[in-house]
């Protein structure tokens, strides 16, 4: 058979078609591989998300986030930072290496941190543990915290955007001079919660696009998990504070009942027993006098018990015809006789407010008045309660000795009384604010400003 141009053309076309089919098959095979990888990665990420959402203890949570980031991006070291807004710093809660990631199952409980690592950490965070801090003005992590932008660096030792002295801050946390560096912000509802960072040593290669997408996804999942853990920590702290406050109040009531009414009632019993002895001896007048003394002592005890019951729960706050002002009138009435300051109560209070607002406002005013009685040595005390369109404003003012509020706050750790702190914490329960203005020899003004929340009908 002779070779003609037509035959050559046909052979070339067949070869091209065969090559195209082979290329198509390779592409299809590669697409199937990619689809399988995506499906496997999706399952892994879903498992990671479920695992993170179930972890409510912040340090293990951050270790787990870091281990996952190191494992999935092929990094050699990673770090997770939490943003401390009060100090404008990033607190490094976890620094994990490739070896630690390889030896840990990201879906099971983590082993305790090696104590040899914690010896390198400083200064102290709010949990009492030692952790390194990075000001947001420093390092690549600080840059990401400021800008909120994921940053990818192929070679941190030669990147024109970031001088080596900036990179050195991250290197100190990572305990390694980084080559490739990838840092992502952990954002929740547009607010920064922390920063996630992974790195490779110089010469170990750069991170690819897959790693970039993974890092973005992990940072997003981590932000939600960190926010939940922080909320859980605050709830636990508030629960512990409430339990402690209740215990302190029980102790206080126990002491007052023991030292006050209990002692008086014991005196009444002794007096009546002595009166009986006098009666048996025919000394009627003396017995009468002892009985009268016992009656007076019993009345004093009953009055103290009523005052303590009032302090626990002023019934005027629950009565339909009562309210905050009625409770305050009943409260200061007990001080109108005997030594102490002269009280003046003024009120513009046309509408009952919510029960929580009235109960909390009364407790704060009561604490302020008790401070006047105990410490001020005042001649006068003025209580003013008024409502504006959107606020309840109450003030307690005295002309007593006054004090330095900053000094008292500084001495809280060594003081047995936490009056100002107690008032501020109570105010926080109704989204209110308490301010204390005072100077030595110039008296004191305590002001409560609370959102106006009318009583439910």
Q: For the segment 354-400, what is each residue's pLDDT rounded down to a tens digit? A: 888 888 888 899 889 888 888 888 889 999 999 888 889 999 999 98
The pLDDT assigned to 292 comes to 73
Q: In what order do the strands lie in the sheet with 433-438?
A: 342-348, 380-387, 391-398, 444-451, 433-438
Strands 89-97 and 133-135: antiparallel
Q: How far apart are CA 217 and CA 45, in angstroms?
A: 8
The pLDDT assigned to 178 comes to 93
Mean pLDDT of all residues in the chain? Answer: 76
Q: How far apart are CA 94 and CA 90, in angstroms?
A: 12
Q: Which of 195-204, 260-269, 307-316 has the highest mean pLDDT?
A: 195-204
**Is the pTM of the predicted complex or chain greater than 0.75?**
no
| Mean pLDDT for the stretch of residues 307-324 | 68
| Mean pLDDT for the stretch of residues 264-287 | 71
Q: Which of 188-202, 276-290, 296-310 has the highest mean pLDDT?
A: 188-202
Token digits of residue 16: 């091209």
Q: For tokens 């401390």, what's the residue? A: 84
- Residue 419: exposure state from Cβ atoms within 10 A (0-12, 13-18, ≥19): middle
The least confident of 103-112, 211-220, 246-255 is: 103-112
When comparing pLDDT for 324 and 263, which is higher? 324
Q: Which of 158-167, 222-231, 277-286 has the highest mean pLDDT?
A: 158-167
């Amino acid at each position: 058979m002779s070779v003609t141009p037509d035959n050559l053309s046909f052979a070339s076309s067949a070869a091209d078609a065969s090559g195209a089919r082979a290329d198509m098959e390779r592409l299809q095979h590669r697409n199937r591989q990619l689809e399988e990888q995506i499906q496997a990665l999706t399952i892994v990420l879903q498992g990671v998300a479920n695992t993170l959402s179930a972890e409510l203890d912040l340090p293990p949570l951050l270790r787990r986030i870091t281990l996952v980031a190191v494992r999935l991006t092929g990094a050699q070291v990673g770090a997770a930072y939490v943003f401390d807004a009060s100090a404008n710093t990033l607190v490094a809660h976890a620094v994990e290496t490739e070896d630690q990631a390889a030896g840990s199952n990201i879906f099971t409980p983590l082993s305790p941190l090696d104590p040899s690592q914690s010896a390198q950490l400083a200064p102290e965070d709010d949990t009492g543990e030692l952790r390194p801090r990075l000001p947001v003005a420093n390092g690549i992590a600080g840059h990401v915290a400021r800008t909120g932008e994921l940053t990818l660096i192929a070679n941190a030792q030669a990147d024109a955007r970031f001088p080596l002295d900036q990179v050195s801050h991250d290197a100190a946390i990572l305990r390694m001079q980084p080559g490739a560096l990838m840092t992502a912000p952990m954002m929740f509802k547009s607010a920064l919660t922390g920063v996630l960072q992974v790195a490779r040593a110089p010469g170990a290669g750069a991170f690819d696009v897959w790693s970039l997408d993974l890092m973005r996804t992990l940072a997003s999942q981590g932000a939600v998990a960190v926010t939940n853990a922080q909320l859980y920590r605050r709830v636990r702290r508030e629960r512990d504070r409430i339990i402690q406050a209740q215990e302190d109040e029980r102790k206080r009531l126990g002491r007052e009942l023991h030292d006050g009414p209990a002692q008086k009632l014991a005196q009444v019993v002794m007096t009546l027993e002595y009166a009986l002895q006098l009666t048996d001896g025919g000394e009627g007048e003396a017995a009468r006098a002892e009985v009268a003394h016992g009656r007076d002592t019993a009345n004093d005890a009953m009055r103290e018990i009523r005052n303590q019951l009032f302090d626990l729960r002023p019934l005027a706050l629950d009565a339909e015809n009562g309210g905050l002002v009625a409770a305050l009138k009943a409260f200061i009435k007990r001080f109108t006789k005997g030594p102490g300051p002269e009280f003046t109560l003024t009120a513009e209070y046309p509408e009952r407010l919510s029960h929580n607002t009235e109960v909390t406002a009364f407790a704060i005013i009561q604490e302020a008045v008790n401070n006047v009685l105990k410490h001020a040595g005042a001649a006068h005390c003025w209580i003013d309660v008024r409502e504006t369109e959107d606020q309840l404003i109450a003030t307690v003012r005295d002309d007593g000795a006054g004090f330095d509020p900053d000094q008292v706050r500084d001495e809280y750790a060594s003081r047995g009384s936490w009056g100002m702190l107690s008032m501020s914490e109570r105010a926080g329960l109704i989204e209110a604010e308490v301010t204390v203005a005072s100077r030595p020899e110039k008296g004191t003004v305590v002001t409560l400003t609370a959102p106006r929340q009318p009583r439910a009908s």
